[in-house]
Amino acid sequence: MRKFTTHLFLFTFLLLTTFSHAQTNKDTYVVLVSMDGFRWDYAKHFKLQNLDKIAKEGVHAKSMKPSYPSKTFPNHYSIVTGLYPDHHGIINNVFYDAQLNESFSLSSNAKNDSRFYGGNPIWNVAEQQGVKTASFFWPGSNTDQKRPGIYKKYDDKVSYESRMDTVIKWLQLPEKQRPHLITLYFDQPDHTGHDFGPLSAENKKVIIQMDSIMGQLSSKLDQLPIGKQINLIIVSDHGMADISNAKKVAILDYLKPEWLGYKAVINPIMSLQAKPGCQDSIAAALKKVPHIKLWRAGKLPKRLHYGTNPRVHDFVIEAEKGYSLVNDKDQKIKGGTHGYDNKNKDMQAIFYAKGPAFKVNKEVRSFQNVSVYPLIAHILGLKIDEVDGKFSEVEGLMRKLDNEKMR
């Protein structure tokens, strides 16, 4: 009888815990926001009152490490899949897939072709488990198959205010229609950082504007009837480093055209395909080139998690920090760029978050951006397959009470 009573107690406890878990997740919302190219230390260089307020109300990381290469589409897709670019397949902003015999670029319709995209984006996982989702311009959200329940075709003419107001309207929909996971993308300060450099007066102005927008969004979310149930997460995809016309490498000047197959210089990195029998000639020629790193595919440092995907081709070339790879020595270089090794601090990104799932006024150490995926899944109570990201990396962000309820 005692054993039966004990078992009944355990069953009741598990049932109540499961009910509490489901109930908690049912009432939980996540709004994931990205500011493209927002470097980890902009808050140290410029007075950013709103991000500082959000940090005090919640948590922030010292920095967030981008996946390699530190480019826009690979990293936005890593954040929402929990996979490194080598594993989800968006290995750069521009690349060629030999099996498809097609190229991917941000200026072509290929960016919306789901055949290029591996992994299972968090909005797919959520929709499959009955959680409604929406996205306003998140890179990779407008493919022909792996779309959120609500999505927008990218149009950079849509104002930031309109984007924010639309998100608020989504969260005011009747419960049966209301998304519980929303992703929102802003294309600044990336553009200004490229044009003028990360610490320029022009970029400072834009960064302060973006900080103001984050404050407006946070306030509008708080004022909603469901405001206390919303977890706001603010991230970026990468940082930005200064470059100059005095530091550039015209990489193709060192190579014979007859050695080369597909080549794509996406400053400061390059993927290169060798024609049959030409690998050794290319390697020998490039070993003499100053201010670059050269790797054969599959031979990159393990910490980069890069170079095994066939879309990387035969060689990966990266310019030394501050240097640019160019097709032509007459090409003019100025401002800033990104794509360098992710251990380079200038490449690192931001993570701020506030809401019922998070601790208050807590700074945590840097972590990999692929761990945002299991973090969101945990908050929403979603079951996910094994990915590169680890919840253990971000568990310290969470309130203990929530951890106990959600396990």
Q: Which of 24, 72, 133, 192 is catalytic?
A: 72
337 is known as an active-site residue: no
Contact of 245 with 334, CB cutoff 8 Å: yes
Q: Report how far Cα 342 is from the mean position of its chain's Cα atoms.
A: 13
What would the two tokens of residue 246 be? 């005095």
What would the two tokens of residue 200 be? 């320029």
Q: Report d(CA 283, CA 275) in Å as an integer.
A: 13
All residues at 6 or more sequence positions from 406 whose CB lies less than 8 Å from its CB, including other chains? 21, 24, 25, 378, 379, 381
Known catalytic residues are 72
